Chains A and B, each alone.
Chain A
Amino acid sequence: MDWVGDFWIPLIKGIIVVLVLLLGGAYMTWGERKICARFQVRYGPNMAGPFGILQPLADAVKAIFKEEIIPSHVDRVTYLLGPFISFAGVLITFAVIPFGPEVDLFGRTIGLWIGDVEIGLLFLVAIAGLASYGVVLGGWSSNNKYSLLGTLRAAGQMLSYELPLGAALLPVALLVGSLNLRAIVDYQGNWPLVVLQPVAFIIFLIAILAESNRSPFDLPESENELVSGFMTEYGGIKFALYFIAEYTAMVVNSAIVATVFLGGWKWPAVISDLHPLAGVGLFVAKVVFMLFVYVWVRTATPRVRLDKFMNFAWKFMLPLALLNLIVTAVVVAFV
């Protein structure tokens, strides 16, 4: 067994990616407050360090040193497991996303991805569904009516968005002829898939907003009618874990959109051919752009009602996604 190639390099890559994701998630809380503030003609956090960049650090310290409270009426094990499932699910998702080409480092050729999985697209959808269990279990085990209502909404929402989400990814698989994310990125050397599949892109974007519980689909949390939804009974570091899971999920979901629809690290090839790291830069730029879109949508939309969202998902998004799939299939088969 090649210990260096098969064990140490993936381990180091994994650790680096997890750290970067954590940092990205933490800084997304800052970025969101900052961007959101500018949309609302405010400054946002600007006291902790220049431009408030130490704000996530201050928040983390505060969350860690808060008193650890486990309410007596909760289902202890599940209650404690909730945030971890959410968080782990989010981190695992990133395992199949390629964030750069192969590079030569220290005399070895290292691919800038963690797992080169043949069923990458399927893996993404599966793990994304798994991460929702963190929300559902956490809220349900809290034994609190607000949490339960938030959980019910999370469950209803999950049933609604998962199908359009999957159906929007199928045309991509048809066009590329592979579920491997590296193959999908390679396919987009000339044109990103958003040009070939605009309908799928829009449906996927809406579904992914729902998946990361973001406005206008932040129904499980709904702080103005459900206190804090499934997070009501969580405090201190457990709350922080849910919180950072949500923001890391935003980062990861943006990475998925960037990889599947915006050409990943490859498009435009003029830039990514220059240097392997230019490709990574492209990827990061696209992720940041998608994160900006997340916040942008949030500032512009009110929360939808659950029944309206289910209507929209089942009667509009899903048929449209299926129609798009059929058209794509016909085009792929006969043209």
Chain B
Amino acid sequence: MIRDSIVGLWQVLRAMALTLRHFFTRPVTIQYPKEPVPLYPRFRGQHQLLFYEEGPYKGLERCIGCSLCAAYCPTHCIYVQAAENKDGVQRSPGERYAEVYEINMLRCMFCGYCEEACPTGAIVLRREFALADYTREDLLYQQKRLQETQAPNAIIRPDSVDEIPGTGKAPRKRRDRS
């Protein structure tokens, strides 16, 4: 009993020494809306449908409405409805384009298989992660929304990437907070 009590008191003092060491370190909290979140370079967030930025197809949609992404998707969250390109109004370089392109963000598990399946590199997973919303309908992302440029409140951890995709800014060097 006496032994236990003395050992217990000693252990409490040791624990207090340990917590006191932590008292003098900087907090690890990220003040999220005010401060950007550091993401890993290969972080997979919301999808984006890309356009051709240069070359002969400049300005056209990359997506040719082939539905390979929908076929490959493990959760079947992608729906593509293709339509023929008519003369004069060319939306994509091939014969067809995606008339409807929907992703059900409630189902998507961000595996990135759609990215892999796409023959033209039209769909990529970007870094937007603030995807909360109020209704199911709002989470059924339409083509228009998926084509928008993303500006996530995040920075990429500065170990391999020297530009934040979609923003063109160089990631701010983060102080080590250990």
Contacts and interface: CB of A to CB of B under 8 A. Distances in A.
Contacts of B23: 35, 38-39
25 contacts: A35-B23, A38-B22, A38-B27, A39-B19, A39-B20, A39-B22, A40-B22, A41-B25, A41-B26, A41-B27, A42-B27, A42-B28, A42-B29, A43-B27, A43-B29, A43-B31, A216-B12, A296-B20, A297-B16, A300-B15, A300-B18, A301-B12, A312-B5, A315-B1, A315-B5
Interface in A248-303: 296-297, 299-301
Interface in B1-56: 1-2, 5, 8-9, 12, 15-16, 18-20, 22-23, 25-29, 31
Interface string A229-249: 000000000000000000000
A59 B15 CA distance: 31
Interface string A296-318: 11011100000000011001100
A316 B22 contact: no
Contacts of B31: 43, 46
A315 to B, nearest CB: 5
Interface in A137-194: none
Contacts of B20: 39, 296
B29 A300 contact: no
A300 B16 contact: yes
A41 B16 CA distance: 15
A321 to B, nearest CB: 13
Given A39-B20, A297-B16, 18 more contacts: A35-B23, A37-B27, A38-B22, A38-B23, A38-B27, A39-B22, A41-B22, A41-B25, A41-B28, A42-B28, A42-B29, A43-B31, A216-B12, A296-B19, A300-B12, A301-B12, A312-B8, A316-B1
A297 B16 CA distance: 6
B1 A311 contact: yes
A292 B174 CA distance: 32
Q: Please list the 3 inter-chain residue pairs (A to B) with the smallest Cβ-Cβ separation, ordered nearest first.
A: A300-B15, A316-B5, A300-B16
Nearest to B8: A312
B16 A316 contact: no
Contacts of A315: 1-2, 5
Interface range for A: 20 to 34
Contacts of B2: 315-316
B15 A301 contact: yes
User: Which residue, A37, A300, A315, A316, has most C-beta atoms of chain B within 10 A?
Assistant: A300
A310 to B, nearest CB: 12
Interface string A36-70: 01111111001000000000000000000000000
A312 B27 CA distance: 36
Contacts of A316: 1-2, 5
A312 B19 CA distance: 24
Contacts of A41: 22, 25-29
A35 B23 CA distance: 8
A279 to B, nearest CB: 29
Nearest to B178: A41
A321 B153 CA distance: 59
B29 to A, nearest CB: 5
A216 B31 CA distance: 31
Contacts of B22: 38-41
B73 to A, nearest CB: 39
A317 to B, nearest CB: 8
Given A315-B1, A316-B1, A316-B2, A299 B27 contact: no
Contacts of B8: 312
A13 B74 CA distance: 74
B27 A296 contact: no
Contacts of A37: 27
A297 B19 CA distance: 9
A297 B1 CA distance: 22
Contacts of B15: 300-301
A39 B18 CA distance: 10
A42 B22 CA distance: 10
A208 to B, nearest CB: 15
A202 B12 CA distance: 13
Interface string A183-218: 000000000000000000010000000000000100
A232 B37 CA distance: 38
Contacts of B9: 202
B12 A297 contact: yes
Contact of A296 (B1, B16, B28): B16
B106 to A, nearest CB: 30
A55 B145 CA distance: 40
Contacts of B1: 311, 315-316
Interface in A17-48: 35, 37-43, 46
